[in-house]
Amino acid sequence: MKKIISVVCLVFTIHTMSAQLVENLRIGLESNAAWYNDDKTTGAFFDDENNDGDEHLRTNSYLKIDYDFLENFTATVQIESYQPLAILNYSPRFKGTDLGIYSLNYNGNKLEANVGHYYEQFGSGLILRNWEDRQLGINNALLGGRLKYKPFDFLNITGLYGKQRVGFSTSAGEIYGFNTEFDVSNALKFENTSINLGFSYVGRNEETDIEDPSFDELTNAFSGRIDVSAGNFYAGAEYVSKSDDVYVFNGQILENFVNPGNALLVNAGYSAKGFGVDATFRRLENMGFFSERATTGNVFLENNVNFTPGLTKQHDYLLTNIFVYQAQSQVVFADPQLMEAGEIGGQVDVFYKIKKGTPLGGKYGTKLAFNASYWAGLKGDYDFANLEYDVDYLGFGAKYFSDISFEMRKKWSKNWNSIIYYVNQYYNQRTIEDNFSGEQIETNIVALESQHKLGSKGKSLRLVLQRLWSNTDSHDWVGGVVEYNFNTKFSIYANDIYNSGTDSSTEKIHYYNFGGSYTKGATRFSINYGRQRAGLVCVGGVCRFVPEATGLSASLLMSF
């Protein structure tokens, strides 16, 4: 705690100096704290990952400093503190106070160069993506060097080398990368059509102690893609091929399984005033790609080289996020009844605005949105005894997940608007969670939201009612949210969800939360007390499991 206080004092000291002396200095501070208490209903607090239940107070703090100098140069450092341990859901590797990120960057007219930590993404990320998400506990930045060169307005070339960040250390595996983007329409002076081509290579090299291994230490992945748009239409496609990679189960390398992987992503759509449609298809086969083979499938999402989010609707309501889909990109041979080599499926989004002045549009118009997604395993022959499979390229196997939603947004008056939301879901708990006793869960969910402006200066009241029915006796949920904004700076809220079903882990438990936030300029403070339900938490389609907990949490964000 003393280290955190020292960091905060340092921020204010530097801020005072920077305001007077250093105009090129940018500082960002984020601190998240949690006090976990024992709960008579859900049980005593215990941290399974750190085998510790005594450290009830946890803090995650980040101090990022960027300094611009010599016109084209920027130096970046990020100090991180996890004291005495990281808040729940984080890897045990995040512990103590240390330098998390550091880099020296040059940004010129045609050339960019980075030495130290950096983030990169090739194409859609199917072959490479490095990013930071503090809510999920992800930071897989590369530590090494990167060059970006733009010899012409229509051509970009990138080359890189690095090791992925893992906690305060780096991975054993090395990452090599090359990417090129070619703007055909710019090069050929097309006026009404845009055509972009891309090609990428990523290599993962990790030495092994296995004598005479049946697999290569270097795994190669190649990606080719095209994006086209003309008028109101757009379309794109990307194909990835990954060379032979060994199978890992529960951290153990199984040498008798060495298979290649591949991915296909296709997207197309049409957009015009008041109407839009977007469709996406994706197929993944053996596309788990990690900088350390033995970490394949780890619950903390560490060592991920590529990015394979769940392509489904990102819902906003509490009950619609109980059964969420996470992409099944890896090979799984858990038992003869639970074998998979990837996923196949897609989603469709349709948007339509009913015009003002029509019977259904009324004075302000009415916005409608429809989404449907379907995901299944790859159809084929699976041999559990020999760890072999042979799949049909476009064959749909066992159903994993489906989601159909309809949304209507209606403004009734200058100060009153509402949302009507319906969702139908199918969730194969066995395959998505690798849960041998998992159920086939079907749900219907309705959410009604109403927001009222109460005068000027941002004062408003928001109410949400939610209901979930399922095909089993296990899940029968009801929920609600009340949010009051005193103005644009200060708000408070309370929410609760309750399962009257027979699910042993959630039956007859109120998962309540209440708190508030205050924002002034670039500073925001928030506080919350309540219960966290065990399950998957997703951000941008990336999901990870979080344990059940009860306690007080607070967050402070500042930038100068």
Q: How far is it, in rounded angstroms, from Cα 455 to Cα 416? A: 11
Domain count across the chain: 1
Q: How many residues does the chain have?
A: 560
d(CA 513, CA 509): 13
Question: How many C-beta atoms lie closer than 10 Å to residue 395's C-beta?
Answer: 13
In a domain, 186, yes or no: yes
132 in a domain, yes or no?
yes
139 falls within a domain: yes
Residue 542: which of 299, 309, 289 has the closest Cα? Answer: 309
Residue 538 contacts residue 310 (beta carbons within 8 Å): yes
pTM (whole model) above 0.85: yes
**At a CB cut-off of 8 Å and minimum separation 6, what does 102 contact?**
76, 77, 78, 116, 117
Q: Which residues of 352-364 are buried (b: 16+ CB within 10 A; e: fewer)?
A: ebbeeeeeeebee
Domain interval for residue 154:
108-257+282-297
With respect to residue 182, please indicate whether it lies within any of the assigned structural domains: yes
* Closest to 449 measured CA to CA, from 405, 417, 479: 417
Can you list the positions of beta strands (E) in 213-331? 218-230, 233-249, 252-272, 275-285
Tokens of residue 337, six digits: 């009844």
**H, E, C per residue of 128-186:** EECCEECCCCEECCEEEEEEEEEEECCEEEEEEEEEEEECCEECCCEEEEEEEEEEHHH
Q: What is the full per-residue pLDDT of the chain (560 aa) written as tens digits?
A: 444 444 444 444 454 444 434 689 999 999 999 999 999 998 999 888 888 888 999 999 999 999 999 999 999 999 999 999 999 889 999 999 999 999 999 999 999 999 999 999 999 999 999 999 999 999 999 999 999 999 999 999 999 999 999 999 999 999 999 999 999 999 999 989 999 999 999 999 999 888 888 889 999 999 999 999 999 999 999 999 999 998 888 778 888 889 999 999 999 999 999 999 999 999 999 999 999 998 888 889 999 999 999 999 999 999 999 999 999 999 988 878 788 999 999 999 999 999 998 988 999 999 999 999 999 999 999 998 888 899 999 999 999 999 999 999 999 999 999 999 999 999 999 888 877 778 899 999 999 999 999 987 889 999 999 999 999 899 999 999 999 999 999 999 999 999 999 988 899 999 999 999 999 999 999 999 999 998 888 888 888 888 899 999 999 999 98
Other CB atoms within 10 A of residue 149 CB = 15
Q: Mind listing the pLDDT tens digit for each residue in 10-57? A: 444 454 444 434 689 999 999 999 999 999 998 999 888 888 888 999
Q: Is 264 part of a structural domain of the chain? A: no
pLDDT tens per residue, range 394-446: 999 999 999 999 999 999 999 999 999 999 999 999 888 877 778 899 999 99
In a domain, residue 248? The reply is yes
44 CB-side CA count, 13 A: 5
Task: Indicate whether 446 belongs to any domain.
Answer: no
The per-residue pLDDT for 13 is 45
Strands (DSSP E) found in 8-154: 25-36, 57-69, 73-83, 96-107, 111-118, 121-122, 128-129, 132-133, 138-139, 142-152
- Assigned domain for 399 exists: no
